[in-house]
């Protein structure tokens, strides 16, 4: 090869490498680019792209990073939180099955991160192989949020799914448990009491501990 040709080839190499990179990598989400420093945005984007390649919804990961940005969290903390949620999304997808919707996977990840065991998600899918699990998963995570023991919350939602409870009734159960807890009933007792009245219309609230029946 002549010296000129060699020089042209050497000059062209970096340009070709850049072009290959530009074509293969999707642009960083605009929201990340605007609200994170470039290095953190790039680290987060790597996690997002890897998660997307495994078929899990990626918007929850971006939103997690944006939450960290708004709360002025350290970059390493933001990246760690995004990785943690990515792992939860993947675990939820594996537990709920490959046909799960983005909403189910996201809700499932929320339940796992609230402390619900993976096995509960697997059993939920077995109870409802075709219907949407979005509401059961949301109710499950919410009950745990309200200090209902994980075992009690899991039992309640699994039982409700097993007997074919409609989503509207499950949401109503959640709402009534919330009201009972506000009135002083223990979270576990409220859940068990309301579970027993599923499908029985407007059942009375369970008594507050210490109050006369």
Binding site for another protein (CB under 8 A): 31, 60, 63, 66-71, 73, 77-78, 81, 101, 103-104, 106-107, 110, 113-115, 132, 134-135, 138-139, 141-142, 144-146, 167-168, 171, 174
For another protein, which is the closer residue by CB, 130 or 213?
A: 130
* 89 φψ region: left (φ > 0), alpha (ψ -120 to 50), beta (else): alpha
Interior CA angle at 184 toward 143 and 188, to 5°?
35
Q: Which string of b and e fits 4-22 if b means at least 16 CB within 10 Å?
A: eeeeeeeeeeeeeeeeeee
The minimum distance between CB 12 and another protein, in angstroms, equals 41
The minimum distance between CB 170 and another protein, in angstroms, equals 9
For another protein, which is the closer residue by CB, 116 or 158?
A: 116
Whole-angstrom distance, CA of residue 101 vs CA of residue 182? 33
Whole-angstrom distance, CA of residue 111 vs CA of residue 121? 9
The minimum distance between CB 208 and another protein, in angstroms, equals 19
For another protein, which is the closer residue by CB, 13 or 151?
A: 151
The minimum distance between CB 35 and another protein, in angstroms, equals 8
Interior CA angle at 151 toward 145 and 153, to 5°?
45
């Amino acid at each position: 090869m002549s010296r000129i040709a060699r020089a042209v080839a050497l000059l062209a190499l970096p340009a070709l490498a850049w072009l290959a990179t530009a074509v293969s990598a999707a642009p960083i989400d605009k929201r990340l680019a605007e609200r994170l420093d470039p290095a953190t945005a790039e680290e987060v984007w790597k996690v997002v792209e890897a998660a997307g390649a495994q078929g899990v919804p990626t918007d929850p990961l971006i939103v997690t990073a944006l939450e960290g940005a708004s709360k002025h969290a350290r970059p390493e903390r933001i990246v760690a939180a995004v990785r943690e949620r990515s792992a939860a999304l993947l675990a939820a997808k594996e537990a709920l099955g490959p046909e799960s919707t983005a909403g189910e996977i996201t809700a499932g990840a929320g339940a796992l991160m609230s402390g619900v065991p993976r096995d509960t998600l697997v059993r939920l899918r077995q109870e409802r192989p075709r219907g949407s699990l979005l509401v059961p998963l949301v109710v499950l995570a919410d009950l745990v949020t309200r200090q209902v023991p994980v075992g009690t919350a899991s039992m309640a939602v699994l039982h409700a799914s097993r007997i074919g409870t409609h989503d509207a009734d499950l949401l109503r159960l959640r709402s009534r448990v919330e009201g009972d807890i506000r009135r002083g009933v223990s979270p576990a007792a409220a859940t068990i009491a309301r579970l027993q009245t599923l499908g029985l219309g407007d059942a009375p609230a369970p008594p507050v501990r210490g109050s006369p029946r």
